[in-house]
Amino acid sequence: MSASPPSGGDPPSFPPVDPALVPRWDAPRGAPIEAHEERPTLEPEAPVPPRWGVHAVLFVLTVLSVFLTGLAHAGAYGAPALAGGTRELLFGLWRGWQFAVPLLAILVSHELGHFVAAKIHRVPASLPYFIPLPFLSPFGTAGAIIAMRGRIRSRDALLDIGAAGPIAGMVVALPVLWVGLSLSPVEPLGGGVYVQEGQSLLYWALKRATVGPIPAGHDVMLHPTALAGWAGLLVTMINLVPWGQLDGGHVAYALFGTAQDRYARWVRPALLGLFAMNLVVLGVPVLQGRGTMTPSRVVENSLFWLMWFAMLTLMQRVGGAAHPPTEPGELSPVRRRVAIGCLVGFVALFMPTPMALRGLPELERWPAFPPVGASVRPAP
């Protein structure tokens, strides 16, 4: 039935029609005509509004925290210790620049790599939220995060955004580490307490190229700048773990597609395996009376991977285990090589024991199978 307007009068008014109820004429031939939901739009998400005050406050606090940590490292390396109150401490923070400036340069470069790549692909992204962590972190910071609204739709964009941060950070970290190692002496390992930084294939190669062969019983005493460069390697390694929303997870999903969700299921159990491996490798010599650390110190030196297992578990509870899907399509040949290079870089940067406190004095060594109730004095 049709309705025509009466002659000489205004046309009748009808209620507006919901577009979602309009029949779609692109249905397959022979399919019944029915109402369909509207297809999701491919329009870009609204930009993330900047929160200038929050970003500025967090960055300033992170700078102060990293300089304070750098001051502690400078003191350990032989710089004059500061004495006095808060005013003297604040005015003396600049002495931590040999650690703080290169480390901040590495972190800022890493985050700007993500930010610029997101802008190039028109993916809404916030400025970095830096995380100050004085006293609790050996670096004075827990890094930074960038908030992105919506999902990254193409695999090319996913690879660019995921890989840009680690690549930009390494471009700064490698020369920083080379300069720092050139300032670091090779000395014998004494009987006191010292922190052994994690070893990786790339780090070993850089040490060999910079300082040459290291005699047995000796090691490089890291200059604060070398420590900052090494921290850049550690941060990049963690970010390249091929799981979930980490940079390595983005890179692996861009390369392998949905198969990465199956591969990623093995990452969290592998972290538990690394925790157990460190307990065995560090603990067996202690039980045999050959170790230079206490059983409690063995556990402390193994906790790094257990902590990251807990972190990934929390991330999985909040955001799910599967990576957000992308639209159909393959990586370009150049980007495929970049993705493979990033995963190879993760292997080259991998540190089985990222940090360990070693070298307890002779009186603090545990005998084989210590008696119940034996106590250990805290290390000086």
Q: What is the pLDDT of residue 85?
A: 62
The single-letter code of the amino acid at 140 is: G
Count of CB atoms situated within 10 Å of the CB of 104: 21
Compute mean pLDDT per 10 residues along the chain, 380 residues long, and list them. 42 46 42 38 55 93 94 68 62 88 97 95 92 91 88 90 97 97 89 85 96 89 95 97 94 95 95 96 86 84 95 90 87 95 97 86 39 30
Q: What is the pLDDT of residue 249?
A: 95
Q: What is the pLDDT of residue 150?
A: 72
The single-letter code of the amino acid at 367 is: P
Q: What does the DSSP 8-state code read for residue 110?
A: H
Q: What is the pLDDT of residue 80?
A: 52
Q: Which two tokens stand for residue 23?
A: 């029949």
Q: What is the pLDDT of residue 176?
A: 98
Interior/surface letters 295-315, b for 16+ CB within 10 angstroms, e for the rest: bebbbebbebbbebbeebeeb
Q: What is the pLDDT of residue 84?
A: 56
pTM of the prediction?
Answer: 0.80
